[in-house]
Amino acid sequence: MGGRMDYVDLVTFSLYVSTFVTPVRKLASFSEVYMQGTAGFSRFLELMRTEPDVQDAPDAVELKNVRGEVEYRDVSFSYNDEAGPVLEHVSLKIAPGEKLAVVGPSGGGKTTLCQLLPRFYDVTGGSVKVEGEDVREITRRSLRSNYGMVLQETWLKSGTVRDNIRMGRPDAGDEELVAAAKASHADGFIRRLSDGYDTVLSEDGGSLSQGQKQLLCIARIMLCLPPMLILD
């Protein structure tokens, strides 16, 4: 504008500016991503280093010869003192091979009742017993290995239907897998899928209905044939 720069100088200057600004922008972008990653990784480490409140007792024993006898004896439970009790003086007994259905309104404590059995929480009063042993006196690994549990929220991984069912027992054969699917009434809709048992599912089974996801999760548990089954 002042007559002190020609076209060659202008183009050269523009090229220099572009060459200089591009790496600066990359550095700024990397710094932002790095800070986000560092914060996320710190939260991850904090979570992984958290010690669970429920621990094995020093003299905990292995649970063996499980038939499925369960007893809730005068059980009370509250998540914290401010919230008040969720369960109060609940007593019930389930014999081996017996089925028990617990019904009631939302917030009535049905899920809590289920979560006390595999010892996701410890009771605040009374006791929960399996085969006559208090669950607090049994190792968590041996206790939970004898349960099959299907929650309200289903979880499926990316992969085939066959892979998702076989998560219950990775060494299971195809005949056992199909038998588990038939036992859970999932075989019918599986065979109607585009590739049957080899149909690839998206993460969390987005292409399936909620009921179909539940049936696959039940088939996964049926493949394990646990002595005790919890359907929440």
pLDDT tens per residue, range 36-89: 999 999 999 999 999 888 888 888 899 888 888 999 999 999 988 777 888 999
**Residue bearing tokens 């990316």:** 158
Pair of tokens at residue 185 = 């009434």
What φ, ψ does residue 40 adopt, rounded to 5°?
Answer: -65, -40
pLDDT at position 107 = 82
> How many other C-beta atoms can be found within 10 angstroms of the C-beta atom of residue 213?
20
Residue 205 has pLDDT above 80, yes or no: no
List the single range of 1-5, 102-106, 209-213 with lowest mean pLDDT.
1-5
Average model confidence (pLDDT) for the chain? 89
158-170 burial: b if 16+ Cβ within 10 Å, else e: eebbbbbbbbbee
pLDDT at position 136 = 92
Tens of pLDDT, residues 183-199: 999 999 999 988 889 98
CA distance 210 to 152: 10
pTM of the model: 0.71
pLDDT at position 48 = 92
pLDDT at position 135 = 92
Q: Which has more pLDDT, 128 or 210?
A: 128
Pairing of strands 133-134, 87-94: unpaired
